[in-house]
Amino acid sequence: MSATRAGVSESNLDLLSINTIRTLSMDAVQAANSGHPGTPMALAPVAYTLWQRYLRYDPNDPIWPNRDRFVLSNGHASMLLYSLLHLAQVRAVDFDNNKVLDSMALTIDDLKKFRQIDSKTPGHPEYRLTSGVETTTGPLGQGVANSVGMAMARGWLASYFNKPRFELFNYDVYAICGDGDMMEGISGEAASLAGHHKLSKLCWIYDNNHITIEGNTSLAFSEDVATRFKGYGWNVEHVSDANDTTALEKALDVFRDTTDKPTLIIVDSHIGWGAPHRQDTKEAHGEALGEEEVALAKKFYGWPTDAKFLVPDGVYDQFKKGIGKRGGEARNAWVKQFEAYKTEFPALAEDFNKMQRRDLPDGWDKDMPTFPADAKGLATRDSSGKVLNVIAKNVPWLMGGAADLYPSTKTRLTFEGAGEFEAASRSGRNMHFGIREHAMAAISNGMVLSKIRTFASTFFIFTDYCKPAIRLSAIMELPVIYVFTHDSIGVGEDGPTHQPIEHLIALRAVPGLMLLRPADANEVIEAWRVIMQLKKEPAVLVLTRQALPTIDRSKYAAASGLAKGAYIIAEAQGGKPEAILMATGSEVSLCLSAYETLTSQGIKVRVVSMPSWDIFEHQSREYRDSVLPPEVTARVSVEQASILGWDRYVGSKGKIIGMHTFGASAPLKDLQKKFGFQPDKVVAAVREVIGK
């Protein structure tokens, strides 16, 4: 048939729309001479059917809270999503994701700029950058794990907000994924937890095309995916041909009718479908087809071979009649329902609105604990647990948990009514992720994308397992709260496998990630005050296992100085300091001990607590110079971690007391002696840098 012929039948309009997705994807990849054309060509019928027949999504309001979520986990197939966003004429949203604009999310010109500098069509979909993209995907497995978080969030939101006659939240979550997603371990972690929680509103559509970058999946992947997912507790459907939209609809109907488990739909497809020399080849996965092959594929589709970025007559209208009409009606009905809800449940409606804006309820920090000076003190993990419970009681949508470690990380919510989030009851706010650190972090991203404020916790050493998702928290500007305990060689007898040495600098290096390592219980309070007010930055709170003295704030500076990242906690007596001592966390008390000795010896020394390099670097030059005067070059830093990075503060004339090796298995006092974290060592270092 002619690609532009008017008056075609409904089935032909469907095929015309499907082929438009295919050809737009091919043309964009070819124009960039970079990208992944094969998967959009194969999955166009699947994605079109889902969007056109099932997805409850209003293109005129892509941030409608009860919209179905669509996640393209195999993000290399980004042109599949970009084509859909353009053809459905999804409207743009402001960068804060709070206001719908009059412009379109993606124009034809945007598609033509695929993978080009400052375009809205990057190589992999990016949340915020491209309106309509629900989450940043690219690293395989992250998207499907995010989708589990979205489905868990949906369960909690429904339990909190839904009332008789008012069903504010009943959305479904769909994710398209590929062989790479299935091979990554995070997908198994996430799928296992989804099955355990019986997340029946979650559907993964698995593109089973047997091709990866190196070649056929038989090189390294031969498991029975269907049996694996049945073992996880999923319903599994199979569609033997990606072009068979009728079979796909039947599978999607089964998903909608399933109420006790998530659904996996395995779709057999041919990567690069329609390209005579590239179909079913690894080249179709990650290379532009070439002009000649593009023309041959278009000929196969019945498409004008010389047309580029063609959207035939009737295609835009077809999307308007499908997803546009259905989504608009569903959204309008929801808005009408919410107006009545506001009258009947005004307090809940106000909670809802605050959540959407990432605002906090009035009095969110009332009843904070107080921690008087105490030489014995307590571990910062313990003081954090007390503060967290007070805040969570005041902020109903703050929830989270640990990777099987809450007795150690002290992140259990213990106040009356906190409850457990589980399959039988979605209202609980204590989440149990099991020993699945990677999935925990990615699921937390999905929950925060759904506007729930989420915390995730484990030992600091296990950030190695969380790092990919933490990095994406920062890229997406999601205020996920990461609570990591057992922060140094203070772990003691557990030895070097559990003593984080390089982890502080590794996370400090992540742009947009706020890391705080408080020195005592009162700095913990101030750290939580800072963290809770964040709207775009993820935060890492690094806490001790061992008890730390609660610093006497009548003698030393108030802990509120933490809000500026670094502050003078003890000033040199009698004038300008001869030297500056700097530390974070547990080492601040060590520096204060050295300070007392040095002061008694007539040496003028200043102690600076530096709980957050990131916050400090965002202060004015005037403030930074007031804390660390450039003319005072005799400086010593103390931190039970890698010395990397401290040179920026210590300078060429200073000295760094830190870890140059991994730790060891021994009681803490023995480790401190072995590695030089003792007051006399700090005193000696100060004397050395000032030449006394």
By annotation, the residues acting in catalysis are 437
Which among 83, 125, 135, 126 has a CA at the least distance from the CA of 106?
A: 83
Q: Does an H or E element contain 207, and which? A: strand 202-208
Angle between helices 463-476 and 142-161 (to 10 degrees): 70
Instruction: Measure the CA–CA gap between 443 and 149, rounded to whole angstroms.
Output: 4
**440: region left, alpha or beta (phi > 0 left; psi from -120 to 50 alpha):** alpha
Based on the number of CB atoms within 10 Å of its own CB, is 666 exposed (0-12), middle (13-18) or buried (19 or more)? middle
* DSSP count for the chain of H helices, then E strands: 26, 22
Q: Are 275 and 297 in contact (CB under 8 A)?
A: yes
Question: In Å, what is the CA distance from 392 to each residue of 363, 384, 479?
Answer: 12, 12, 15
**What are 644-651's contacts with CB under 8 Å, separation 24+?**
644/502, 644/505, 645/505, 645/508, 645/613, 646/582, 649/582, 649/610, 650/582
Q: Minimal CA–CA distance to 58: which of 125, 127, 114, 131?
A: 131
3-class DSSP assignment, residue 567:
strand
Q: Among 205, 322, 189, 307, which Cα is nearest to 266's? A: 205
Cα separation, 366 vs 317, whole angstroms: 54
Token reading at 171 = 């959305």
The continuous run of DSSP H or E covering 237 comes out as strand 235-239
How far separated are the first and last CA of the chain, in Å rounded? Answer: 91
Q: How far is it, in rounded angstroms, from Cα 637 to Cα 57? A: 54
Could you tell me how far CA 321 lies from the centroid of its own chain? 35
Question: Are 471 and 508 contacting, i.e. CB atoms less than 8 angstroms apart?
Answer: no
Residues 660, 669: Cα–Cα separation, whole Å: 18
Give the residue among 579, 641, 586, 648 at the shortest CA–CA distance from 613.
648
Q: Are 513 and 536 in contact (CB under 8 A)?
A: no
Distance CA 233, CA 196 (A): 7
Token pair, residue 369, equals: 């604990």
Q: Work out the burial of residue 295: count CB atoms within 10 Å of its CB; fewer than 13 is exposed, 13-18 middle, 19 or more buried.
A: middle
Contact 70, 133 (CB under 8 A): no
According to the 3-state scheme, what is the secondary structure of 330-346? Answer: HHHHHHHHHHHHHHHCH
Whether the CB-CB separation of 351 and 373 falls below 8 Å is answered with no
Sole residue written with tokens 């102690």: 607
Which residues lie below 8 Å from residue 407, measured CB to CB, with a gap of 6+? none
Comparing CA positions, the residue from 686, 186, 139 lying closest to residue 441 is: 186
Instruction: Output the six-digit token pair for 80.
Output: 């599949």
Within 91-222, where are the H helices? 108-112, 142-161, 179-183, 185-196
Q: Which residues contact 299 (CB under 8 A, 6 or more apart)?
A: 305
User: Can you list the alpha helix ranges (DSSP code H) found in 398-458?
Assistant: 406-409, 437-449
